[in-house]
A and B are shown apart, each in its own frame.
Chain A
Amino acid sequence: MTQLHPQRLMKIAQFELVRLFLTKRGLLAVAAFTICWLLILRYPVGQAVTIVSSPELAELAKQVFGAIGLSKLLQWPEAELAMYWLIALYSFPLFCLFLCSDQIVGDKHRGTLRFLTLRATRSEILLGRFIGQVLILAALLAVTLFATLAVMAFRDVALLGGGINRGAIIFFYLLITVMPFVALMTLINTFASSARLAIVLAVLFFAVGNIMVGILTWQVPMFALLDYIFPGVQINQVAGQNSTLFSSLGIPVIHSVVLLFIAQRIFVRSSL
């Protein structure tokens, strides 16, 4: 990325935060998100300890979790955090495909981008918007994590110290995990004509892409390597805490960098 001015970059990122938290549409999105998470906190997370502590259900959980490689999670004393980890790890990437669907496409369509490009480089706009979206997701992750810790502390306050430590690690891993999904939406935004189309293209990329790679792998097993083009390829391994540091953090960081690089190359050459 060339021509990056840190102050302009951060101003653009800050503006994204305002877009979510100080505009009507943004507040509606936050309200819908809050209601979903209140339900998640009330039922799966709130009931997590009941599932784990019940002898019959615990045995079933051990068998099911063991079969899918999640047995390590059952050892966590903070059962609420284990449940939060699983739900957040799978739901946040999906959620961010919708949340980050309009990074530049709306401004491009409206012509607002023409005002911006007279005051900031295209690379700054692209990366600033990406950072802004990551900050928004960080804020939403932090809020839901605090709420989970509160539910856990309400059950057993003694777990709070360990829970905060584990929560900080979870937060970091989740944030790194969602980054390539945000970057994918940044890339799609450079050529999509609307936010809705950006979501459709992202869904098609995962759905059709996975089917095609599946067919190719079935013909030639070596094509299984193509799975690595999909953001989140490591999620199943990460979920059960069975992955290496490279797999947990390295792959999503590499994905993000590559996707942002391609997005930047397309965006600096595109007509506004």
Chain B
Amino acid sequence: MSTLIHAQAITKRYGSKLALDDVSFEIQQGAPVALVGPNGAGKTTLFSLLCGYILPSQGQLSILGSKPGSNALFGKLSALPQDAQLDPRFSIVHQLSFYGQLQGLSAGASKSEALRVLDLVGLSEVAHQRSDDLSHGMRKRVTIGQSLIGKPQIVMLDEATAGLDPIHAREVRELVANLSDEATFILSSHDLTELERLCNHVLHLDKGKLIEHQAKPSELQTKRFMTILFADNLTDVEQRLLSLPGVTRVYMSQAKEYVIEYQKSDKQIDIELLNFCYQQGWRYRQLVNGHTLENQIFTQEKA
């Protein structure tokens, strides 16, 4: 795997406000990367730095060996910046074709490319309309489409599914999943379940500081976790689950949801857990192997 992005000791100040504090990380080519954190944590600042919209106060940032905003990155890195809109005076296909031409495509090829990306986001029928004629969700999908022009290596989507209805949000997730072999996506979202589905590597920003997570458990860990969400409110769950062999700790993470800590062993403890639930007459809705991303982040922010 090759390193796509290397950030070293990045600090960004707006006057006296510290937006990013000595942030260092590396992003490798491959599965989508999640950028999470509460409002004001510095996610959009980090996106803007990676896109070259703003300059860091201190630190070094390298994308594919070039500085952000460098012409070497044109066509290789694209983004959906938060709240950015197309020009309402031109048709969508005209603008997307123009972007394609700036990326070096011919007039004909850029128009075909514009129609291809509109098809990817399910909006071929609005190609000749202006962005003002579209709903908020459609405009968002069009701008996601613009980020896919010319098949870039890195695609950064800031709050890509915010404001989309569940059907279209799911379509965008599927699109990202389908294209993850061609490009490395960096996604920021408040929907942690969405990010958990798509991403392995998680960059968690809080008050300008960075904490990295692996959303999926490492094979090297000796302690293992499962998170189970029940359909109903139950009593005495912790005590009863502790009676299962290998289980060392059980606690309620939020309403109807319990985290089960157990020792790594050869036993199929998940099967035993489900059998136990069946015997107790407990209906469950979801069983997660490990901590949910939401719990990891919530625990971190509360710490």
Q: B69 within 8 Å of A by Cβ?
A: yes
List, in ascending order, chain B residues with CB within 8 A of A250's CB. Answer: none
Q: A265 within 8 Å of B by Cβ?
A: no
Interface size on B, residues (CB 8 A): 31
Tell me the bound Cα distance from A116 to B95 in angstroms.
10
In the complex the two chains form, is B84's CB within 8 Å of A115's CB? yes
In the complex the two chains form, is B71's CB within 8 Å of A272's CB? no
CB within 8 Å of A: which of B51-83?
A: 51-55, 69, 71, 73-75, 77-79, 81, 83
| Known contacts A11-B98, A110-B85, A120-B102, A115 near B146 by CB under 8 Å | yes
Q: A165 within 8 Å of B by Cβ?
A: no
List, in ascending order, chain A residues with CB within 8 A of B17's CB. Answer: none
Q: B51, B84, B103: which contacts A112 (Cβ < 8 A)?
A: B84
| Known contacts A114-B79, A119-B102, A3 near B71 by CB under 8 Å | yes
List, in ascending order, chain A residues with CB within 8 A of B53's CB. Answer: 114, 117, 271-272
List, in ascending order, chain B residues with CB within 8 A of A110's CB. Answer: 84-85, 87
Q: B86 within 8 Å of A by Cβ?
A: yes
Q: B48, B51, B74, B90: which contacts A120 (Cβ < 8 A)?
A: B74
List, in ascending order, chain B residues with CB within 8 A of A107's CB. Answer: 87
Q: Which residue of B lies closest to A109 (CB)?
A: B85
Tell me the bound Cα distance from A3 to B73 in angstroms.
13
List, in ascending order, chain B residues with CB within 8 A of A120's CB. Answer: 71, 74, 102
Of the four ranges (under 10, 10 to 19, 20 to 34, 35 or more), the interface on chain A belongs to 20 to 34
- Binary flags per residue of A178-208, CB closer than 8 Å to B gives 1, else 0: 0000000000000000000000000000000
CB within 8 Å of B: which of A102-118?
A: 106-107, 110-112, 114-118
In the complex the two chains form, is A118's CB within 8 Å of B85's CB? no
List, in ascending order, chain B residues with CB within 8 A of A116's CB. Answer: 99, 102
In the complex the two chains form, is B54's CB within 8 Å of A272's CB? yes
For residue B128, give the distance in angstroms from its CB to the closest CB of chain A.
13
Q: Which residue of A lies closest to B101 (CB)?
A: A11
In the complex the two chains form, is A118's CB within 8 Å of B87's CB? no
| Known contacts A23-B89, A119-B74, A114 near B103 by CB under 8 Å | no
| Known contacts A114-B81, A117-B53, A120-B74, A19 near B102 by CB under 8 Å | no
Q: Which residue of B lies closest to A24 (CB)?
A: B89
Tell me the bound Cα distance from A122 to B53 in angstroms.
10
- Binary flags per residue of A242-272, CB closer than 8 Å to B gives 1, else 0: 0000000000000000000000000001011
List, in ascending order, chain A residues with CB within 8 A of B146's CB. Answer: 115
- Binary flags per residue of A1-37, CB closer than 8 Å to B gives 1, else 0: 0010101100110010011000111100000000000
Q: B54, B84, B89: which contacts A271 (Cβ < 8 A)?
A: B54
For residue B146, give the distance in angstroms from its CB to the closest CB of chain A.
6
Q: A237 within 8 Å of B by Cβ?
A: no
List, in ascending order, chain A residues with CB within 8 A of B90's CB. Answer: 18-19, 23
List, in ascending order, chain B residues with CB within 8 A of A114's CB. Answer: 51, 53, 79, 81, 84
For residue B157, give the distance in angstroms from its CB to the closest CB of chain A.
13
In the complex the two chains form, is B89's CB within 8 Å of A117's CB? no
List, in ascending order, chain A residues with CB within 8 A of B89's CB. Answer: 19, 23-26
Additional 17 contacts, C-beta under 8 A, given A26-B89, A112-B85, A117-B69: A8-B102, A11-B102, A23-B90, A107-B87, A110-B85, A111-B81, A112-B86, A114-B51, A114-B53, A115-B81, A115-B143, A118-B52, A119-B103, A120-B71, A120-B74, A120-B102, A271-B54
Q: Which residues of B contact A (CB under 8 A)?
A: 48, 51-55, 69, 71, 73-75, 77-79, 81, 83-87, 89-90, 94, 98-99, 101-104, 143, 146
Can you give 6 contacting A-B residue pairs, CB < 8 Å?
Answer: A111-B84, A114-B51, A115-B146, A117-B51, A119-B74, A272-B54
